Structure 1
Amino acid sequence: MVDPEPTPPGSAASRKLHFICGGSDSRQDVEGPKREKKRRLDLEDTEQKDSRAEFEAKYQEMYQQLGAGGCGAVFAGYRREDGLPVAIKHIAEGYVFCKHVDYNGRELSIEVAVMLRLQEETSGPLGTPALGAPVFLLDWYNLDKELILVHERPVPCKDLLNDIKDKGGSLPEEEAKIILKQLVDAAVDLQEKHIFHQDIKVENILIETGSDIPRVRLIDFGLSRFVKKGASYRRYYGTYQHVPPQWYSCNQNRPGPTTVWQMGVVLFETLHTGEDFMTKRFMEKSLTISETLSENCQDFLRLCLMEDPKQRPSLKQLRRHRWLK
């Protein structure tokens, strides 16, 4: 992650205390705000305890760690009521970098806000998801020292990074094509909903493995943002090794070209055994596209990984590429 943009604090209303010299009035004026502050802190403490108790009563967390990153850790668990498998994500208070104020004036983690926005269009929290759809957010608990997110946990599944490792360090081209087609469709859907994931990579792609055709599910929207058409940003959120080339040349980050670049990074790491993609190495030609791949696949990769963002196709153009047919 590069240079996280801090969330500006909310402005507090100014207060004035008028002191009357001597007598009991002075003590009352000073002690009144102290008592009010203590009552407020006691109320917040009670609410935090109630929220944690609610979480522990509703979900059983296990010791099995599913993943960890710079912002938190994810553990397996299940919902006590019906045994539904869940993934429980813990994010320390100081690592909720991106926030959003919703229609009701609530300040939410951007991950919560985005997941809620995406789920507004579904008929129920666990309807049949589209291919490439994000995992559903079931609950969230904003506690004193951490944010806890509870997501559905498809079973069986694994992230794409481990799927690649388990299959010898790369996937067959035809299998990679199935995954990329779903991934591009998911990226187009997010774009149409004005959501920029910002950190699409093999670690953030779940593969449901319970059927003949792998199903892609996107995870980890903790660095995402809501965007307007034509938006460009002066700060980059995401994995440093995958930063798009235009960041080095002009310090600009546009959602469409950056997401197309990330499609190329995912495909490169999926098809090249033992190669962790690094933008600088690719620009220096010490990482190259394998000539053993089909011509259409090589063309797809070259287009995604064009150094000039203006020469990359749009996501919708990428979806029509002949390799994905």
Structure 2
Amino acid sequence: MGICHGKPSEERPENPNSEEAPPISSTPKQSKFPFYSPSPLWISRKSSPATSTPLRILKRPFPPPSPAKHIKALIARRHVSVKPNGAAEGSVGLDKSFGFSKNFFAKYELREEVGRGHFGYTSSAVAKKGEIKGKEVAVKVIPKSKMTTAIAIEDVRREVKMLRALSGHKNLVEFYDACEDEDNVYIVMELCKGGELLDRIIARGGKYNEEDAKAVIIQILNVVSFCHLQGVVHRDLKPENFLFTNKDEKAPLKVIDFGLSDYVRPDERLNDIVGSAYYVAPEVLHRSYGTEADMWSIGVIAYILLCGSRPFWARTESAIFRVVLKADPSFDEEPWPTLSPEARDFVKRLLNKDYRKRMTAAQALCHPWICGSPDAIVQLDISIFKLVKSFICTTALRKAALRALAKTLMPHEISYLREQFSILGPNKKGYISMQSFKSAMMKNSTEAMKDSRVLDFADTVSALHYRQMHFEEFAAAAISVLLLEGSNGWDQRARQAYDLFEKDGNRPIMIEELASELGLSPSAPVHVVLQDWIRHSDGKLSFLGFVRLVHGLSARPKV
């Protein structure tokens, strides 16, 4: 529930009388650590989007409504029941029994505190018995008195369930045990002694070189792609929630703190607002999001690693939300002009405000900036399930258009699709069936995948009656048109694909037939809308119609 396994927050001085972040330096070059001064990364340790926004002078008499007000109220209600008069209610009637082991102090000896968060603290401990006897561990202690809502209790229950199910990935903190008594819940995990990623960034004076940043990002992508395949979205990815196992410069990185995580299917959207203000994705603030929100947070982390400052900065939390929703990050100031085009493109593809044009974790691991690294482990990408299902259910005309578009794919895009096709296990003749999707999922299944009901979604694809699919057809089926549109040179690519379509797939088509292809009932308004889709000279699909067709856009007129 937002607790970090790092050093105590007292080691980072803050002004207890101020809720504003330190001001941005107008001359950042004067700072010895340019990242440290203008970017108060530790502010989320003490305050969160649930804290109040400071008063400020407004230039306009009637400013637009603050996006912070309802966001903070929602987050507050997640953990504190509030009476109409504003006073917090007690937790009378809430069942705070988790069914965990009751003999914590017989099994573990608590030692010094190593971190403190919003809802508890973390201490080191030594196991006194069992398989890990004599091993030093980390214990996350969550007081039951802090669990004042059913949601807060469920968060703890779900965190333990997720840690138990996902434990074993090399970049995820190892889970050992969960205990409880009348006062607390104790979550026993691996003790990481290397400190937070945040501390390493500050120690480097604010930034990493490209190769070192890439090594960190690959580890983050590896574990996040694993979580997303299981149907788990972390929802609080930030440098504070990544720990190094030891002090060595090349020590493995581990993600921690699943207190705000949740299950989500590819065809579902979450709507509760959680996370840390600087790393929250725009669609989270709009209350409709999925695993793409984690990819935005990774984009923010990558931006910080490469240039030493935040992509979105403001003095108050209300202003932070505005900037995240409206502003674009800068790639013009140093050191961006001196970084590789691949690194800049990688970050831009993650910080796209349209989540549909954002790379998935598996796609990011095949990006030219990352591709070729021996440490990058590409997982099955659940997003292709939706795309293939849509392709199978679409019209013959759109399939022909997508096949033409597939012929324009770049080498790294083909590499990603070949990775996915290989994971699906083609037979000796190089074909996959719809059952291949379910079989590939089962090979990577954990209890988390069952709880997230991702397997149920896989069933909807494997149950489709469709012939076997070779790689060329799979490439057309698994194309994310919106992702391609978000890359450089989309107009040129679309025109190239249309030229190929003209040679192989375009044909004369009546408006009535096109309406039928699109699932529209023939009517005068529909005829007017579809006029632009058909070239009047020969009755074939126009370039505009082709682009709309590959997008799968509805031609239904607005009422």
Determine if the TM-score, normalized by the shorter chain, exceeds 0.5: yes
User: What is the rounded CA distance, in whole Å, between the counterparts of 1:180 and 1:219 in structure 2?
Assistant: 15
Shift of 1:56: 1.9
Q: Is the 8 A contact 1:170 1:270 kept in 2?
A: yes
Please tell me the residue identity of whatever aligns with 1:319: L
**Aligned pair in 2 of structure 1 residues 286, 276: CA closer, same or farther (>3 Å)?**
closer
User: What is the rounded CA distance, in whole Å, between the counterparts of 2:284 and 2:178 in structure 1?
Assistant: 34
Partner of 1:57: 106
1:291 aligns with 2:329: no
Partner of 1:323: 369
Q: Is the 8 A contact 1:110 1:223 kept in 2?
A: no
Q: Any residues of structure 2 matched to 1:83-98 within 5 Å, and which?
A: 83-93=134-144, 94-95=146-147, 97-98=151-152
1:251 aligns with 2:287: yes
Q: Any residues of structure 2 matched to 1:1-325 within 5 Å, and which?
A: 3-4=74-75, 6=78, 51=102, 54-63=103-112, 65-81=113-129, 82-93=133-144, 94-95=146-147, 97-98=151-152, 109-119=157-167, 129-132=168-171, 134-154=172-192, 156-209=193-246, 213-248=250-285, 250-255=286-291, 257-275=292-310, 277-278=312-313, 280-281=322-323, 285=327, 287-289=329-331, 290-325=336-371
By relative contact order (CA 8 Å, sep 6+), the higher-ranking structure is 1
Q: Is the 8 A contact 1:138 1:152 kept in 2?
A: yes
User: What is the rounded CA distance, in whole Å, between the counterparts of 1:262 and 1:275 in structure 2?
Assistant: 11
Please give the secondary structure, in 2, of the residue aligned with 1:164: helix
Larger C-alpha radius of gyration, 1 or 2? Answer: 2
User: What is the rounded CA distance, in whole Å, between the counterparts of 2:366 and 2:194 in structure 1?
Assistant: 28
User: What is the rounded CA distance, in whole Å, between the counterparts of 1:281 and 1:312 in structure 2?
Assistant: 19
**Aligned pair in 2 of structure 1 residues 55, 277: CA closer, same or farther (>3 Å)?**
farther
**Aligned pair in 2 of structure 1 residues 295, 231: CA closer, same or farther (>3 Å)?**
same
Shift of 1:116: 1.7
Deviations 1:26-78 (A, max 9, x none): xxxxxxxxxxxxxxxxxx9xx99x93xx3223222222x32222222112222
User: What is the rounded CA distance, in whole Å, between the counterparts of 2:221 and 2:300 in structure 1?
Assistant: 13
5+ residue gaps, structure 2, are: 1-48, 50-70, 82-96, 314-319, 372-559
Partner of 2:45: none
Please tell me the residue identity of whatever aligns with 2:269: S
Shift of 1:142: 2.5
User: How high is the sequence identity, in percent, across the aligned residues?
Assistant: 23
Q: Is the 8 A contact 2:111 2:123 kept in 1?
A: yes
Shift of 1:266: 1.4
**Aligned pair in 2 of structure 1 residues 98, 188: CA closer, same or farther (>3 Å)?**
farther
Partner of 2:454: none
Deviations 1:109-165 (A, max 9, x none): 11101112224xxxxxxxxx5442x212212123333221111113x4211111212
Which structure shows the higher strand fraction? 1
User: What is the rounded CA distance, in whole Å, between the counterparts of 1:148 and 1:240 in structure 2?
Assistant: 28
Paired residues, what number? 265
Q: Is the 8 A contact 1:182 1:216 kept in 2?
A: yes
User: What is the rounded CA distance, in whole Å, between the counterparts of 1:172 and 1:83 in structure 2?
Assistant: 39
Partner of 1:40: none
Shift of 1:299: 0.7
Q: Is the 8 A contact 1:235 1:253 kept in 2?
A: no
User: What is the rounded CA distance, in whole Å, between the counterparts of 2:164 and 2:245 in structure 1?
Assistant: 22
Partner of 2:32: none
Partner of 2:87: none
Shift of 1:308: 1.2
User: What is the rounded CA distance, in whole Å, between the counterparts of 1:308 and 1:151 in structure 2?
Assistant: 36
Please tell me the residue identity of whatever aligns with 1:299: D
5+ residue gaps, structure 1, are: 10-43, 101-106, 120-128
Q: Is the 8 A contact 2:198 2:239 kept in 1?
A: yes
User: What is the rounded CA distance, in whole Å, between the counterparts of 1:98 and 1:324 in structure 2?
Assistant: 38
Q: Is the 8 A contact 1:72 1:90 kept in 2?
A: yes
User: What is the rounded CA distance, in whole Å, between the counterparts of 2:78 and 2:309 in structure 1?
Assistant: 35
Please give the secondary structure, in 2, of the residue aligned with 1:264: helix
**Aligned pair in 2 of structure 1 residues 164, 151: CA closer, same or farther (>3 Å)?**
same
Deviations 1:245-285 (A, max 9, x none): 1244x431222x10110110111222332548546445555
Please give the secondary structure, in 1, of the residue aligned with 2:161: helix
Shift of 1:203: 0.7
**Aligned pair in 2 of structure 1 residues 146, 230: CA closer, same or farther (>3 Å)?**
same
User: What is the rounded CA distance, in whole Å, between the counterparts of 1:131 and 1:172 in structure 2?
Assistant: 24
Shift of 1:195: 1.2
Shift of 1:224: 0.9
Deviations 1:212-270 (A, max 9, x none): 6331211000111122222101212211232211244x431222x10110110111222
Q: Is the 8 A contact 2:304 2:310 kept in 1?
A: yes
Please tell me the residue identity of whatever aligns with 2:185: L
Q: Is the 8 A contact 2:194 2:248 kept in 1?
A: no
Q: Given the two structures, how large is their TM-score scaled by the length of structure 2?
A: 0.43
Please give the secondary structure, in 2, of the residue aligned with 1:157: coil
Partner of 1:15: none
Please tell me the residue identity of whatever aligns with 2:254: R
Deviations 1:194-220 (A, max 9, x none): 111111111111123465633121100
User: What is the rounded CA distance, in whole Å, between the counterparts of 1:75 and 1:212 in structure 2?
Assistant: 24
